[in-house]
Structure 1
Amino acid sequence: MNAFIEFLTLDNLTYMLFGLVWSVIYGVIVVLVGTILGIIGAALKISKHKVLQSIGGLYTTVFIGTPMMLQILFFAVALPQALSFTGMRFEPTTLGVVAMCLNAGAYQTELIRSGILGVDKGQWEATETLGLSYFQAMRYVILPQAFKRIIPPLISEFMTLIKDSSLLYNIGAIELTASASVLGSRSAGIMIPYLDAGIMYIVIYLILSRVEKMAERRLAVSD
């Protein structure tokens, strides 16, 4: 207990909070970009064109079927080595975040696709009656209704991505787990910094869980 109290200095807490902020930033970037990729991927998978369906299916198969850690290592380590002959320099953290965005986009493709398919068929028929194009129908009618169904799962996905940002520690990124590891190497033991990081992750989880439940209640009322 005394060791835990001694660890809670202003410098240590500031350093841990700095790592937490970066974990949240990575989570925000990945969920936003992943949502955009998910919309594109869902549009491909529900397209009437077989080629577009195949592209969407290949995308989700590759990024859902392989571990995120492998994807991060491929983009941040293997890909720069393969392209070293070009003389271009790549930032590992940026490439790692790109891998996370692609991974999140694949999962959100399936989430958004299920939301779109859950919209009543009468809504599609109404858009045809109004003479709306496919993209107009998606933008103004279908997607707004689909997102009402998937906002809570997206918040849950955001929670997961904040935790998954700890994988970036393996390529030297600054985030909460990395901050705990650095502080542990400077002190007599690693347990207290990791325990502190775990508490911070739990606090973020509890906050976002509360937001998710509030969103579910509001959306239920709006229905």
Structure 2
Amino acid sequence: MDYILNLGQRYYDAFFADARYTAYLEGIKNTLIISLFAVLLGVLLGVLVAVVKYVAKGSKNPVIRFLDKVCKLYVTVIRATPVYLQIFIIANLIFTARNMEIYAAITCFGINSGAYVSEIIRAGIESIDRGQFEAGQSLGLSQGTIMKSIILPQAIKNILPALGNEFITLIKETAVAGAIAVTDVTKAAQYIGSRTWDVLPPLFIAAGIYLIIVLGLTKLLGMFERRLAASDHH
């Protein structure tokens, strides 16, 4: 009984005492803000890279071939280096002013996500019959119009579940944002643990928060996929 009471007191101190729950709320807000804007940036970069790599196939245009090499270098470097290192480089190279940490985190995770999203989108584009691209060309449509109006809408629909999973993965990866003093969920837990001198309860609370967020998003993603599948049958 004493053990249960002591355990309850530890978690009370880690969450309710001195309104410490506000630190978790601040962490949740920052985690979601970083994840949302980073995935938007990642999708933008991913689309650009995927389109360049698709158009570059068989192209003899020197500009497109150069852009293709740049895109391949970007994807290779980002996927071959840890995000923990990338966030320090971006924070110290670009966002050196004070109170710019959250922008550094968004930029870092957006650039990192873009490399992975580009491969997802490229696979989605390649799943579309190339004959549709050639049909568009035979109608006199430009490459940009064909990609924007014919290829990408179909590709995006095919890869939406994968993009949703990328967003969920990104939420968990933001746990390293605390390395540059961003108060995300993990950083909030570490801060509270340093105040209570009892590190485990805040960490378990943070784990529970991530679990709730991820399970909630997974549920929403599943509902969206079922609705998307239902619309395909009509």
TM-score past 0.5 threshold: yes
Where structure 2 has 5 or more consecutive residues not aligned to the other structure, the ranges are 1-6
* Structure 1: segments with no counterpart, 5+ residues: none
Pair 1:55 & 2:70 matched: yes
User: Structure 2 vs 1, CA of residues 7 and 69 (structure 1 numbering), >3 Å: closer, same or farther?
Assistant: closer
Equivalent residues of 1:151, 1:215 under 8 A apart: no
Secondary structure class of the residue paired with 1:122: helix
Partner of residue 46 from structure 2, selected from 38, 44, 52: 38
Gap change, CA 1:149 and 1:69, over 3 Å in 2: same
Once the two structures are superposed, the pairs formed by residues 1-223 of structure 1 within 5 Å of their partners are 1-2=7-8, 3-9=10-16, 11-46=19-54, 47=56, 48=59, 49-77=64-92, 79=93, 89=97, 91-223=100-232
Give the TM-score normalised by structure 2: 0.85
Moved over 4 A (4+): none
Structure possessing the higher radius of gyration over alpha carbons: 2
| RMSD over equivalenced CA pairs, Å | 1.9
Query: Structure 1: how far apart are the matches of 2:14 and 2:68?
Result: 54
Cα distance, 1:149 vs structure 2: 1.2
SS of residue in 2 equivalent to 1:131: coil
Q: TM-score, normalised by structure 1?
A: 0.89
Q: How many residues align?
A: 216
Separation in structure 1 between the aligned mates of residue 222 and residue 83 of structure 2, nearest angstrom: 27
More deviation, 90-99/178-187: 90-99
CA shift for structure 1 position 74: 1.3
Give 1:5 deviation, angstroms: 3.6
Show CA shifts across 1:3-53 (max 9, x none). 224433172222212111110110001000110011111122122232222
CA distance in 1, matches of 2:132, 2:20: 55
Q: Deviations over 1:96-126 (max 9, x none)?
A: 3312211111111111111111112232233
- Looking at structure 2, the residues matched to 64 and 212 of structure 1 have their Cα atoms a distance apart, in angstroms, of 25
The alignment partner of 2:183 has SS state of coil
On the 8 A contact 1:44/1:55 being kept in 2, the answer is no
